[in-house]
Structure 1
Amino acid sequence: MNIPVWFEITALVVLVLVLIGDLLLVRLRPHIPSTKESTLWVVFYVGLALIFAGLLYFIAGGQFAGEFLTGWALEYSLSIDNLFVFVLIMAQFSVPRRLQQQVLMVGILIAIILRGIFIVAGVAIIENFSPIFYVFGAFLVWTAVRQAMPEGDHEGEVKRENFIVRLLRRRIDISDEYDGPKLRTVVEGKKMWTPMIIVFVAIGVTDLMFAIDSIPAIFSITQNTFLVFTANIFALMGLRQLYFLLGDLLDRLRYLHYGIAVILGFIGVKLILHAMHVNELPFINNGQHIEWAPDIPIWLSLTVIVASMGIATIASLIASSRERRRAPEELHPEPPTH
């Protein structure tokens, strides 16, 4: 059974309309969303993804629904890592909080475009060069090791952006102050770019770096272009609201990078095993498929993704809670008893 073309077209049209509506809402009503508002929007987008998976199940079958659900969970987990860098970017460039919704919305649109390009390129490479799965798998295992290293990798992402920002400042005139959400402003009669252009470039570079990690990962779940693209869109659509919902909580999720490292490592191994199944390299098993390599099922992938994020989050919150309880005791130690 295949996914009907009419369903693919209808789904993409609806998703585009939702994105346009979200963009207009942010543009016409810039504000700082409350925790309640952010929660409702996150629930809405998660519910939308689950409804989409349900429709896939009834229209195209359980295999496609399972692949989408697992791909969406994977991309959603990896997208949360973006939020840490977004926080650093917003702080570094002193973006007013009331403008952060618009910055994030533009960043999400940039991410969708970049990932769309990566997906099309990835599918073309896979169709013509199956050994790419070995490369994807090895790259994700290496990324997992780097992710598990002591914290500071996010600062490394920002340093890479700083190089591009410095290059941008040398090429164009940029004002010192924001002018609302505008990209262009007038300072003493001279037209200049506002710092918003730097923020957008920094967000775009971040999205590019994360697309390099996440797109190979989802190809371990499915090579269906429609499912890969929709899983990415659904994962990114709720990211803006999640940013405001988590807020200061991000600082407390200290072990989250370990959970993401486990996911990336697992997916990397899964890709290498898949590469062994479709092996065509003459210097490996004489160019024959390696049938004894285990094929990791979709349900196990979904279990590992959810469990890794859940355990990392719970462990982070427990550690943070213990630290907060210890802090008053360290500030006001009890007097010694005689």
Structure 2
Amino acid sequence: MSHEFIFIAGFLVFIFLMMAIDLGLFGKSDKPVSLKQAGIMSGVWVTLALGFYVLILNYGDYLHSIDTMQRLQQINTDHAHKLTLTDDLAASLQQYRKTLGLEFLTGYVVEYALSVDNIFVMVLIFSAFSVDKRYYHKILLWGIIGAVVMRFLFIFLGSALINQFHWILYIFGAFLIYTGVMMFINRNQEEKIDPDKHPVVKFASRFFAVHPHFAGSKFFVKMDGKKMITPLFLVLLIIEATDLVFAVDSIPAIFSITKDPYIVFFSNIFAILGLRSMFFLLINIIDKFHYLKIGLAALLAFIGLKMLLSHYAEAIGLTTGRSLLIIVGILAISVVASLVFPKGKHKTA
């Protein structure tokens, strides 16, 4: 049994175990998640992500079962790590683990930041469908389970495409710049969701019988012997569709940081699993960060530009470490600006 198999299998078992614990803690009763609970779980997920970073620093070479210099050179080439390897295998492995850890940490920060925009949309969806706050946690939990599966498929499909057609990175980069520009242009545009006209509602209504009213926390009900989906299940479908749209932005973004599909997957999963607790932590204060959209727009544009300049990034100083500092700086400035210049007292840029 290879180290690679043990590493991946251990990660998947850990993730399913954490989701089971999460479901056990918050899924037994239909009570709104408190700010204290959300804060604790957010802290737990961030701590686990940092712990995983430390794990990579010490055992990252297990990920691809690297035990020879030839294997390390192959992985270095395949995943474009651009390491300067020596004949000293131990020193080279240490360099590799450090690079891998930095790529994971940078990818995690990017994915976690971009998921904030997802929260804006989730708040709109719950509000438009008048979902009771007691059922938020159930929808988000099942939504995240679906997101984990979709991200897995998207990431390894994207990796296969990049390996086969390297030029697709330039398309990803141009798309991210376009997305960033459009996010900036539409930053002050009021978003609305019409439940009756939403495409997912129309699509589901064609194939399923829809119950006209909520039935507590149930996704399905039986009426006159006929099984029907509830509006709560429709909201879940919309949440899944929304994540699919966001994945189109976030997954290309992280491929600008690392070409290792495992690191892309790990950073995505930790960010997604932390999204639910972050939602409950930010739901009541998300509007206070009115400059965050500008920060996220700048973040996407920067990442897109880095992808377009991928062949020259290292030469002009855009290393992974410096990119992480720039990304954190962009986010910090947008958050601080939102707090220093509150909405209403100062005109939003």
Same topology, TM > 0.5? yes
Aligned to 1:117: 153
Aligned to 1:328: none
Q: Judging changes above 3 Å, is the alpha-carbon distance between structure 1 residues 12 and 172 closer, same or farther for their aligned structure 2 residues?
A: closer
Aligned to 2:33: 33
Say if 2:255 is the partner of 1:219.
yes
CA displacement at 1:169 relative to structure 2? 2.5
Equivalent-residue separation in structure 1 for 2:36 and 2:345 (angstroms): 27
Say if 2:327 is the partner of 1:305.
yes
Say if 2:132 is the partner of 1:96.
yes
Matched-pair contact (CA < 8 Å) for 2:38–2:281: yes
Q: Judging changes above 3 Å, is the alpha-carbon distance between structure 1 residues 119 and 291 closer, same or farther for their aligned structure 2 residues?
A: closer
Aligned to 1:49: 49
Aligned to 1:8: 8
Residue type at the aligned position of 2:253: A
Equivalent-residue separation in structure 2 for 1:38 and 1:130 (angstroms): 41
Aligned to 1:336: none
Q: Judging changes above 3 Å, is the alpha-carbon distance between structure 1 residues 91 and 159 closer, same or farther for their aligned structure 2 residues?
A: closer
Q: Judging changes above 3 Å, is the alpha-carbon distance between structure 1 residues 70 and 317 closer, same or farther for their aligned structure 2 residues?
A: same
CA displacement at 1:248 relative to structure 2? 1.7
Q: Judging changes above 3 Å, is the alpha-carbon distance between structure 1 residues 176 and 271 closer, same or farther for their aligned structure 2 residues?
A: same
Equivalent-residue separation in structure 1 for 2:212 and 2:196 (angstroms): 22
Residue type at the aligned position of 1:236: I
Q: Judging changes above 3 Å, is the alpha-carbon distance between structure 1 residues 160 and 52 closer, same or farther for their aligned structure 2 residues?
A: farther
Equivalent residue of 1:221, what SS? coil
Residue type at the aligned position of 1:162: H
Equivalent-residue separation in structure 1 for 2:345 and 2:287 (angstroms): 13
Residue type at the aligned position of 2:282: L
Aligned to 1:180: 216
| Pairs aligned (count) | 310
Equivalent residue of 1:90, what SS? helix
Larger mean Cα displacement after TM superposition, 171-180 or 193-202: 171-180
Aligned to 1:317: 339
CA displacement at 1:123 relative to structure 2? 0.6
Partner deviation per Cα, 1:38-89 (whole Å, 9 max, x = no partner)? 1111011001000110111122321111010000001000011100000000
Equivalent-residue separation in structure 1 for 2:194 and 2:155 (angstroms): 25
Structure 1 gap segments, 5+ residues each: 278-289, 325-338
Equivalent-residue separation in structure 2 for 1:213 and 1:57 (angstroms): 28
Aligned to 1:166, which of 199, 202, 206? Answer: 202
Residue type at the aligned position of 1:314: V
Aligned to 1:247: 283
CA displacement at 1:323 relative to structure 2? 2.9
Equivalent-residue separation in structure 2 for 1:199 and 1:154 (angstroms): 20
Equivalent-residue separation in structure 1 for 2:194 and 2:171 (angstroms): 26
Matched-pair contact (CA < 8 Å) for 1:273–1:295: no
Partner deviation per Cα, 1:94-143 (whole Å, 9 max, x = no partner)? 11100000011111112111111110110100111111111011010001
CA displacement at 1:185 relative to structure 2? 1.5
Residue type at the aligned position of 2:335: T
> Which structure features the higher share of helix residues?
1
Matched-pair contact (CA < 8 Å) for 1:79–1:235: yes
Equivalent-residue separation in structure 1 for 2:298 and 2:222 (angstroms): 49
Q: Aligned ranges for residues 250-261 of structure 1 at < 5 Å? A: 250-261=286-297
Equivalent-residue separation in structure 2 for 1:100 and 1:237 (angstroms): 15
Q: Aligned ranges for residues 127-138 of structure 1 at < 5 Å? A: 127-138=163-174
| RMSD (Å) for aligned C-alpha atoms | 2.6
TM (norm. structure 2) is 0.82
TM (norm. structure 1) is 0.85
Q: Judging changes above 3 Å, is the alpha-carbon distance between structure 1 residues 291 and 218 closer, same or farther for their aligned structure 2 residues?
A: closer
Equivalent-residue separation in structure 2 for 1:120 and 1:207 (angstroms): 17
Structure 2 gap segments, 5+ residues each: 61-96
Equivalent residue of 2:308, what SS? helix
Q: Judging changes above 3 Å, is the alpha-carbon distance between structure 1 residues 224 and 161 closer, same or farther for their aligned structure 2 residues?
A: farther
Aligned to 2:100, which of 64, 82, 87? Answer: 64
Q: Judging changes above 3 Å, is the alpha-carbon distance between structure 1 residues 291 and 213 closer, same or farther for their aligned structure 2 residues?
A: closer
Equivalent residue of 1:238, what SS? helix
Equivalent residue of 1:294, what SS? coil
